Amino acid sequence: MNLQLLQTRLGYTFRDIGLLQQALTHRSHSSLHNERLEFLGDSILNCVVASILYERFAALDEGDLSRLRANLVKQQTLFEIAQKLNLSQFLRLGEGELKSGGFRRPSILADTLEALLGAIFLDSGFDSARDAIRAFYIPLLDSVDPGTLGKDAKTLLQEFLQAKRIPLPTYNVIATHGAAHSQEFEVECLVPKLNVQVFGRGGSRRAAEQAAAQLALAAAQQALTRAPGARKGKPRAAQLKLAGIGTNQSDADAGQADAPAQSK
């Protein structure tokens, strides 16, 4: 395991390499794991992201800033940052987690990233942790539209359709793929009035719905911006597919939202 490579990607070199190793250690591997570091890193992450947003978006009020921060520190965003670091190749997992594909699991990768931030803080203080976080998030914020305020794709689609007085979309699980521990859901999103039919995929039903909603929003916007008087033919649904990445939900949420569907 080339820890120097990871440190280069983080833009930080540890004085105490043991802290780095602990941050990469899942509880399935040993008793000296990263959960306490994760707790610490989560708090620092929220503080720094709040500070960045406060500086960057002077016109936003407290509620809007809170929604935007929640979007930036959620598991999916952390998972995407962890993927850019190729963090999965550095994880220390127990045999069971290795066999079940734990190195790909969004929750494990997101938690490990937070643990790394906690480890940086303990290794050399708040300023170093802040610098690492800013390096991750400034590029993301350069592409953020504060008008969406961190709303998810399903919410944005619903608001768009309501503004146009178009009935709300329907979502249907049409298939599941893979073994029980690593299922991928395929969800159909329909907006009949606009002849929109799209498909999204994800590691949970919720993630697949979000992926489908993102495509449906783009298709709906395109349908409503076509030039008036364009030649009308037989309605043809937009057949699009997107491979989404699932996120773990709370236990209460997961039991309802991610109930397995029968493969077709």
Active-site position among 42, 97, 209, 258: 42
Active-site choice (38, 111, 114, 209)? 114
Q: What is the rounded CA–CA span in Å between residue 205 and residue 64?
A: 27
Catalytic status, residue 114: yes
> What's the rounded Cα separation, in Å, for the pair 45 and 127?
12
Are residues 97 and 16 in contact, defined by beta-carbon separation less than 8 angstroms? no
Q: Which tokens in the block code for residue 142?
A: 């350069």
- Give which of 67, 58, 116 is closest to 87, Cα–Cα: 116
Find, among 253, 245, 239, the residue nearest to 78 by Cα.
245
Q: Phi and psi (nearest 5°) for 51?
A: -65, -45
Which residues sit opposite 187 in a β-bridge?
173, 200
Size of the chain in residues? 264
The beta-strand segments (E) located in the chain are 170-177, 184-191, 196-202, 241-243
Q: What gap in Å lies between CA 127 and CA 18, rounded to an integer?
A: 20
Q: From residue 46, give the alpha-carbon distance in Å to each of 7, 36, 109, 127.
A: 22, 16, 17, 14
Report the DSSP beta bridge partners of residue 188.
172, 199
Which residue numbers are catalytic? 42, 114
